[in-house]
Structure formats: structure tokens, C-alpha cells
Amino acid sequence: MSNPSILILPGDGIGPEVMAEVRHVIDWFGENRDLTFDVSEDLVGGAAYDVHGVPLADATMERAQGADAVLLGAVGGPRYDELDFQLKPERGLLRLRKEMDLYANLRPAQCFDALAEFSSLKADVVGGLDIMIVRELTSGVYFGEPRGIVKEGNERVGINTQRYTESEIARVARSAFDLARKRTGKVCSMEKANVMESGVLWREVVSEVHAAEYSDVVLSHMYADAGAMQLTRWPKQFDVIVTDNLFGDLLSDLAAMLTGSLGMLPSASLGAPMDNGRPKALYEPVHGSAPDIAGQGKANPVACILSFAMALRYSFDKGDEATRLERAVEAVLADGLRTPDLMGPEGGSPVSTAEMGDAVVAKLSASL
């Protein structure tokens, strides 16, 4: 049987440098755990625009469709701000999500003990935090039609449409309930059913799926604004949160920051199973391309490394090896290694992107 394939799309800004560390980690698993992947690389975002004039070439899209997993670094940068909307780096990422139909976006917000002090909240509020936001990723206001900027009389009107079908809501709800069963068995669904019809339907469908298939899971509902408030007040009340595309975008940034650093958090975007039983999947750090620090060896590679851990767990059924990698990261942090984003106001001497990557690989070796 051929090796499972991974398509790496480093993208823009700090994407390539954090991805270089992930490649070391992938190599380590090949050399030490008999887990060899066929790894190939391609362009996305501004990097693709520079070469092909589009943020995602058709050939790259095809390769992504055929890969067992896609690992993406980050897209975007000020150089591309003036581009036509359809050519912006972000459109490349959105095309991947939409055409691969990656409807369930898993964004864990986990607070590493060694980093609890970096949160803007009190350490006892975030210490030990471990929640999972499941964001619907392929519909809602991000993709709804009609959309555009049109002329009405003598002024322009910007239009986007929030739209959800029952089946779109039901499938992401199932993803959330399935995950909850493997965790502490609690799901909180967030929408704005008090204001939006799409929210009314969201609440109804989530409740129906729950009653019919998942009555062992504890389900609650919250308006998304109240959810944001509760997330900052006492985040540990949550286990799995399921929400729509736009609310999920906002709430996952909020939840990420609770943990102290965006540079630490991975994500998985999963679709329906392929013929080989693996879900269509794309893994990426939650952080962006951070153009201000790109190319300086200052980026934290941990979020991208942990995204590969999620790939081991969700695409390759190697939960044990995923845990091994997550423990290696924890051990490095416990040793006090810090990239610049993890430096407190009192300072210290930060390590570089490559040093952080090397340290994780060394901890992996120590785990054998």
C-alpha cells in the first residue's frame, strides 16, 4: 500500500518558516515511528498570486482534493491589500474550504499550564481550560447569495446573506455531538435565534438531531453575544461549542486569546469521508500570516506543529502519536522555552522558530 499523502501549502508571511519546523516533525515520525508520508508542496494565497495571478491555481485545488490531508500555513499580507476582492489571498483559503466541503472546523482552545499567566484573564479562570469550538465553515454569511456591492439610487449598498439549510446545520451538529461523546459529553449551541430566522432554524435543527440521535449528550443553547460574555466570564463551563461560520470566526479568536497566545492553537477542517474512509481534511494554525515578523525567525511554530498532531489524530487514526507530539510541546514549554510571542513584560531571552522546532523534535526523541 502506498504511503498516505500530505499536501503542504505554506502560504504567506510566517507560513513557510513555521511549516519548515512541521516538516522536521513529519520527518521524525517517518524515521522513528514507521509513519512515512508522501509529502508534496504547493502555493496558496499571495504566494500563488505572485506566480499564477490567482490565490489558488486549479491544479493546486485538484491536488488538494486528492490528498489524504492538507496542511496550510497562513495566507495574506499588506502587499495584497489593494488587490481585487476575488484575487485576495484569503479567497484561496475560502476556495479550499468550500470546494473540499470542509464543513466542520474544529478549533480547540486549550490552556497550557506553563502559559496560564499569559492570559489576559486570571490564571484560575483559564488554568486547565480545554474547550473545543466547532465552527460551521462552508456556508452562512461567508458564502450566501445574493452578495456584492450594488447601486441603489445614488448610493452603494453592501450585501451579504446569512443562509443555512437544515442539512448544513444537521451535519455540523453531528460533528459536535460526536466529539462531545469523546470528551465530557456537553455541547452548547450558539446563534442569535432572538433576532435571526437562520438562528431559529439552527436551534430547532440542533435540538432535533440531539433528540433523535444524541440524547446521551447534554445540550444547551445560548445567544452568541451572551456566549461571548460567558466565555470571558467563566470559560470552563463549556466543553464543545457549536456555532455558525461568522459567530465561530469571532468566538474562536476570543477563545484562543483566553489561552494566552494565538501562536499556540491549531485547527482542523473536516468534511465527509473519502473512499478510503478518511475525512477530507485541511489543518492550519488559528493564527494569521503575521507579516510584521515574517522571515525573522520570531514566529512560534507550535500552532502549526499541533495542527499536524490533529492530522495524526483525525486523518491518520494515530491518536497515540498525536498525544506523543502534544506532550513533547508541553514538555518544551515546561522547560521554559519561549518564542517572542510568549515573552511576558519582564522579558527574557526568546528562542527562534527553528530552536523551538528543534526542541520539540528533541523531546519527541526523548519520548522513545
- Dihedral-angle region of residue 350 (phi above 0 means left; psi in -120 to 50 means alpha; beta otherwise): beta
Query: Under the criterion CB under 5 A, does residue 284 sit at the interface with Mg ion?
Result: no
Strand partners, 219: 187
Give how many residues touch ligand IPM by CB under 6 A.
4
Q: Pattern of binders to ligand IPM over 57-96, x per CB under 6 A? A: ---------------------------------x--xx--
Give dist(CA 216, CA 199) in Å, integer. 24
Residue 90 binds which one of Mg ion, ligand IPM, none, with CB within 5 to 8 A depending on kind?
A: ligand IPM
Q: 136, 168, 249, 326: which one contacts ligand IPM (CB under 6 A)? A: 249
User: Cβ–Cβ contacts within 10 Å for residue 184, how many?
Assistant: 13
The x, y and z cell numbers of residue 295, run together, are 522571515
**Of the residues 12, 42, 68, 249, which is catalytic?**
249
Site string for Mg ion, 244-283 (x = CB under 5 A): -----x----------------------------------
DSSP secondary structure string for all residues of 281-340: EEEEESS---GGGTTTT----HHHHHHHHHHHHHTS--HHHHHHHHHHHHHHHHTT---G
249 annotated active-site = yes
Shortest approach of ligand IPM to residue 244 CB, angstroms?
12
Q: 237: Cβ–Cβ under 8 A, 6 or more apart, which residues?
A: 230
Give the H/E segment covering residue 320.
helix 319-334
Nearer to ligand IPM, 46 or 279 (CB): 46
Please indicate whether residue 320 is annotated as part of the active site.
no
Residue 105 belongs to what H/E stretch?
Answer: strand 104-110
Under a CB-based contact definition with an 8 Å cutoff, are residues 314 and 279 in contact? yes
User: Residue 303: which of 33, 19, 30 has the closest Cα?
Assistant: 19
- Examine residue 244 and tell whether it contacts ligand IPM (CB under 6 A): no
253 is an active site residue? yes
Cβ closer to ligand IPM: 64 or 94?
94
Catalytic residue among 49, 142, 164, 214: 142
Residue 136 is a binding residue for Mg ion (CB under 5 A): no
Q: Which residues are catalytic?
A: 142, 192, 225, 249, 253
Q: Could you list the residues that contact Mg ion (CB under 5 A)?
A: 249
Q: Could you list the residues that contact ligand IPM (CB under 6 A)?
A: 90, 93-94, 249
